[in-house]
Amino acid sequence: MPQKILVTGASSGFGKLAVSRLLGRGHKVAAAMRGVGGRNSAAAGELAGQGALVVEMDVCDGGSVDAGVARAIEEFGGLDAVVNNAGQGVVGVQESFTPEDWQRIFDVNVFGVQRVVRAVLPHMRGKRSGLLVQISSVLGRIAVPFYGPYIASKWALEAMSENYRVELSRFGVDVVVVEPGGFLTAFLGNLMQPGDHTRDGSLAGMPREARDFLQGFEQALAANPAQDPGNVADAIVGLIEAPAGQRPFRTIVDKMGMGDAIQPYNEHFEKISSDLYSAFGIGHLRQLQTQA
């Protein structure tokens, strides 16, 4: 049956692709983005032409989030799923990112998700059904240099999602995490740079290494057509259309080899978490799900 879905960060990348795929499957979709009448007007017009309800939303503004969610619920008569896709990446030496830089990243990638979730949960809990699709990253499971604040924010998102998974299971609300690898989308072209370059000369060439690392990664992505951003959109569609209560908690989407390395870690972590819950006598709070 057609579902009613809100997708944040829908102006480009995974979000825009997911909106198009979902509309093509007959779902009702609210495409949330900033700058509907400004910088993202072209994307807004394109998605509206496909049948999307375009919603102005800045995930860093609580009032904007509340208004956008309320509009989607009113226009559709409810919401069945939310895809928390809006995000910001970085590249650079971790030391050179100022506390203000870190606040900006977390405001989008962590606090922005919390704002959206808090806005939609009273509705989902009230009808005792719903789905939160959290777009994380394979870098939410491992750490590599030169993406420090982004990685930290995705680790935080993973922890947030683990807790929501448990706390919302009694209300019939599913929580799932999608962990994409790197993809050639507009996301890579909008990476935030460090706010402080005064230390570059004392960092033993690492700022240059960070730039070279990114360039090499982009070249590797370009050489691997199997690493198609559409794979992520398809994974999102598959999770939304899967039966409630039977969706895998974590879904890795990657054709660069990282997924093969991380999957066993995810499976082992699942067992550790389950064992700890049982040891603390709260195993009944955990809704166990099969790994993707």
Amino acid at the residue 263? Q
Closest CA to 180 of 7, 11, 13: 13
Question: Which residue is listed with tokens 């509206």?
Answer: 48
- Residue 257 phi/psi, 5-degree rounding, is 100, -20
Strands 4-7 and 130-135: unpaired
Catalytic residue among 147, 150, 164, 277: 150
Contact by Cβ (8 Å): 222, 261: no
Helices assigned H by DSSP within 25-77:
41-49, 62-76
- A 10 A CB-CB count for 154 gives 26
Q: How many CA atoms lie within 13 A of 239 on its CB side?
A: 34
- Rounded-to-integer distance, Cα 96 and Cα 278, Å: 43
Q: How far is CA 118 from CA 51, 84, 165, 181, 286, in A?
A: 27, 12, 14, 27, 21
Strands (DSSP E) contained in 244-288 are 250-253
**Catalytic residue list contains 147:** no
Residue 135's φ and ψ, nearest 5 degrees, are -90, 105
In degrees, rounded to 5, the angle at the alpha carbon of residue 190 between the alpha carbons of residues 25 and 155 is 75
Q: Read off the tokens for 207.
A: 């700022």
Q: Which residues are catalytic?
A: 150
